[in-house]
Structure 1
Amino acid sequence: MIFVLVIAAIFALLGAVHWYLWRRLVRDTTAPRSVARRTGTTFAVVLPLLILGAFVAPRAGAPFPLQQAIAWPGYLWLALVLYLTLALLVGEVVRAVWLRVPARGPSAGPDAEERAAAPAAVASLAAGAPPATGGAPTAAETPLAEVSPSPSPAPSRRLFVARSVAVGATAAAAATVGYGTYSVLSGPRVKRITVPLAKLPRAAHGYRIAVVSDIHLGPTLGRAHTERVVAAVNRTAPDLIAIVGDLVDGTVADLGPAAEPLRRLEARHGSFFVTGNHEYFSGVQEWVDHVRELGVHPLRNARVELPGFDLAGVNDISGENHADGPDYARALGDRDPSRASVLLAHQPVMIHEAVRHGVDLQLSGHTHGGQLWPGNLIAAAANPTVAGLDRYGDTQLYVTRGAGAWGPPVRVGAPPDVTIVQLAARDA
């Protein structure tokens, strides 16, 4: 019942937003029954259906090429809807101020006087009044046939303001989404951060972990995106690679070729993987087996001992709905507490269990840094840390913004990243 109510609320919101966009971009800027009005109205009906299709097609098991064909226009339009709406809301203020400013009338002068006198003169002639005498001829002395007709009226001021706001909002939204799409398709940035660990021995000082999260291979981001991520990671020559969940949005059958470049990841101590919530939507066991075939080691509530510290990984908390949730006792319970520990856990909210189990550093993703501003405000309400390094008691938490994008292949205010976390010994 709750799921049905949520879906109904989403449909209602989508409908209300598109009605508002139609009103400001189509109804207020076009003539009734015009071709432009009919075309705009058609788009106002079809485009939200593309958004719904982009969400529904994967869940309905549609052929993958069809998913791709619908996803690109549907998700890009979704991003445009967000920024068109925000821009038009700003435009409401502009519109209100602009329409309250008194209109500037025709400038004063002889021409203005003649324009003002012409209607009165014509009326006088029609009534049989004698023409004015003396001075320069006036419009009243000109035969009616010679009085030039007045020009066609210009568009109303209200129409001019509506069109100006619509054009400005559309340009701003298109530029924002265009830049955000370029940000994703140009590949993740490499970010570097140093994290001191009190228990880390001097021999492990400077150890570098490449943290990769939220690649989100799917209908919009495929093999080329994986190649960009792998190239960015390998350029840094890390000691270890940690993929902290949400690798895929789809099945191995559809996305196996897209994940293939992961086979080329290079690190001195190998690559490790923990599940994110999206793996549980995509066939988790198949993906765990597949990444193992690609040379990436899954850490499913497990731990490995590395020179200088323990590396542990736990399943995502959404696995609890599949009898496959995180098991901290299994991953951390019997370790030597005198050794430094690094935990891979997809969601930042898992930090509280990490603190209880004496973890020194947790590496997470999941938030995308908000992905689309002002989504960071929503992410902050649901996560203890949205991006960057924080401390909770004796445990530090680092959250990467992720290397890909979910839904719209667009990022605004939260560029994708691969983070090199360099561990530092306190006494080095």
Structure 2
Amino acid sequence: MGVVVVVAVVVVVGLIVVGMFGGLHWYLWRRLVRDTTARGSIARRAGTGVIIAGPVLLIGAFVAESAGIPFLIIQMIAWPGYMWGALLVYLVLWLLAGELIRPLFRRWTAGADSSATFVPAPEDVLVPATEVSDAAARDRQEQQEHPAPVSRRLFVSRAASGAAALAAVTTVGYGSYGVLSGPRVKQLTLPLANLPRAAHGFRIAVVSDIHLGPILGRGFAERVVETINGTQPDLIAVVGDLVDGSVEHLRSAVEPLSRLHARHGAYFVTGNHEYFSGAEQWTEHVQELGLHLLANSRTELPHFDLAGVNDIQGERIGQGPDFVAALGDRDLARTAVLLAHQPVQIHDAVEFGVDLQLSGHTHGGQMWPGNFLASLANPTVAGLERYGDTQLYVTRGAGAWGPPVRVGAPSDITVIELASKQA
């Protein structure tokens, strides 16, 4: 009985999602195509084709990797598909904003010299049927010699839709430039109560959510590595979601990570996306690249303990986070820094007396207003917060998942300088 209920809920939720997805595209078609083009025109056919092809490519981008098709084709689908996803978000938002302005614009144009600029829309004029047949030839001749001015309704629709489309393309273009040009470096000094004086000034470069895959490839990885090495950190923490794809497809893309350099090495913990991409193969491969794997384990550095736990997604294959294994038998007098991909793991960190947890996962929301959705599932979306005696820092991440677009949540690599209160 319980299984039937679960299946029914999944089906209902699925139908709701599909209905909303289809409804959004119908709204786009109505405002961008139907309201701005003539029936049967080339423009209407082309616009309809784009509205149909966009969601098809977007769905294809999501399922391409699991379908086992060649990686080159995955890349060809991913770029237009994911970019359509970003455009969909901002086309809808800008069009909805336009709905508020549209009545005011109509009222303003109504006060203009309509004889010079506007004529009534065809649907606003009632023409007797007997006159239509008699005037048809004359109308065609007159339209050829003197094309009718654009109606007020059509003018408003084209102006509002054109402005929304321009704003959406500009927003997505700017957001793409921010991602593809590489993450910026943030600097943060963080005092820790139990940190010994000898560790004062220890610098950790925190990077998460690089998301190497069909869009962000080897060139992006090289920029990330160059940026990290340029900060000359004492330690590098790669906090999950390194890849979106298999080792087979991304071996070349991740190779630059072998050149990460820090005095105390580079450490890696899994994120949820590793478990979508073959976690066992990736945990082996990152070690071949020279990264130290912290899989529910801990290493004792000269002045503090560095621990790492697996991502929660690992529970589905019996490899979930194990705080007891990572922190259960440690010396509580020593400072503990924990690498955990998801901020929600902070509650276990508090219980085990961790001084600082470093996380990613949220992307800071990636595309506004995604930050509001991210805040529903995460205690901290970005930045530094305190939970009891434990501090949590969440980086927005270096890359992007899905569309290579960030709006209101710039990518970052954070260099945290630990400060001793005894210094």
TM-score, with normalisation over the residues of structure 1? Answer: 0.88
Q: Which runs of 4+ in 1 moved over 6 A?
A: none
Structure 1 residue corresponding to 2:88, chosen from 81, 84, 89: 81
SS in 1 for 2:337: strand
Q: Deviations over 1:287-316 (max 9, x none)?
A: 000000000011000000112110000001
Distance verdict in 2 for CA 1:156–1:303, change over 3 Å:
same
Equivalent position of 1:258 in the other structure: 253
Equivalent position of 2:140 in the other structure: none
Post-superposition offset of 1:105 = 5.3
Structure 2 residue corresponding to 1:28, chosen from 19, 27, 35: 35
Structure 2 residue corresponding to 1:300, chosen from 292, 295, 302: 295
AA partner of residue 82 (structure 1): V
AA partner of residue 285 (structure 2): H
Distance verdict in 2 for CA 1:239–1:107, change over 3 Å:
closer
Post-superposition offset of 1:99 = 1.7
2:271–2:311 CA contact under 8 A, matched in 1 = yes
Q: Deviations over 1:311-353 (max 9, x none)?
A: 0000011111110011101100111101100000000000000
Moved more, 379-388 or 5-14: 5-14
AA partner of residue 361 (structure 2): H
Post-superposition offset of 1:4 = 4.2
Residue 285 (str. 1) matches residue 280 (str. 2): yes
Distance 2:147 2:32 in 1: 25
Residue 395 (str. 1) matches residue 390 (str. 2): yes
AA partner of residue 42 (structure 2): V
Distance 1:176 1:384 in 2: 28
Post-superposition offset of 1:85 = 0.5
2:295–2:308 CA contact under 8 A, matched in 1 = yes
Moved more, 35-44 or 269-278: 35-44
Residue 97 (str. 1) matches residue 104 (str. 2): yes
Distance verdict in 2 for CA 1:252–1:5, change over 3 Å:
farther
Q: Deviations over 1:136-189 (max 9, x none)?
A: xxxxxxxxxxxxx99543111110010001110111000110011111110010
Equivalent position of 1:49 in the other structure: 56
Residue 60 (str. 1) matches residue 55 (str. 2): no
AA partner of residue 59 (structure 2): L
Distance 1:47 1:5 in 2: 25
Equivalent position of 2:135 in the other structure: none
Structure 2 residue corresponding to 1:336, chosen from 320, 331, 334: 331
Structure 2 residue corresponding to 1:408, chosen from 403, 408, 411: 403
SS in 2 for 1:216: coil
Residue 318 (str. 1) matches residue 325 (str. 2): no
AA partner of residue 83 (structure 1): Y
Distance 1:202 1:274 in 2: 28
SS in 1 for 2:166: helix
Distance 2:349 2:147 in 1: 74
Residue 371 (str. 1) matches residue 378 (str. 2): no
SS in 1 for 2:396: coil
Equivalent position of 1:382 in the other structure: 377
Equivalent position of 2:123 in the other structure: none
Structure 2 residue corresponding to 1:159, chosen from 145, 154, 161: 154
Distance 1:382 1:359 in 2: 22
RMSD across aligned positions (CA): 1.7
Equivalent position of 2:124 in the other structure: none
Distance 1:107 1:350 in 2: 64
Residue 205 (str. 1) matches residue 200 (str. 2): yes
TM-score, with normalisation over the residues of structure 2? Answer: 0.89
2:109–2:152 CA contact under 8 A, matched in 1 = no
Distance 1:106 1:330 in 2: 78
AA partner of residue 365 (structure 1): G
The unaligned stretches of length 5 or more in structure 2 are: 1-6, 117-143
AA partner of residue 319 (structure 1): G
Post-superposition offset of 1:61 = 1.7
Post-superposition offset of 1:6 = 4.0
Q: Deviations over 1:230-279 (max 9, x none)?
A: 01100000000000000011110001111000000000000000000011
Residue 16 (str. 1) matches residue 23 (str. 2): yes
The unaligned stretches of length 5 or more in structure 1 are: 112-148
2:240–2:272 CA contact under 8 A, matched in 1 = yes
2:367–2:408 CA contact under 8 A, matched in 1 = yes
Distance 2:145 2:279 in 1: 75
Q: Deviations over 1:375-424 (max 9, x none)?
A: 00000111000000000000000000000000001111111100001100
Name the % identity: 64
Distance 2:324 2:250 in 1: 33
Equivalent position of 1:222 in the other structure: 217
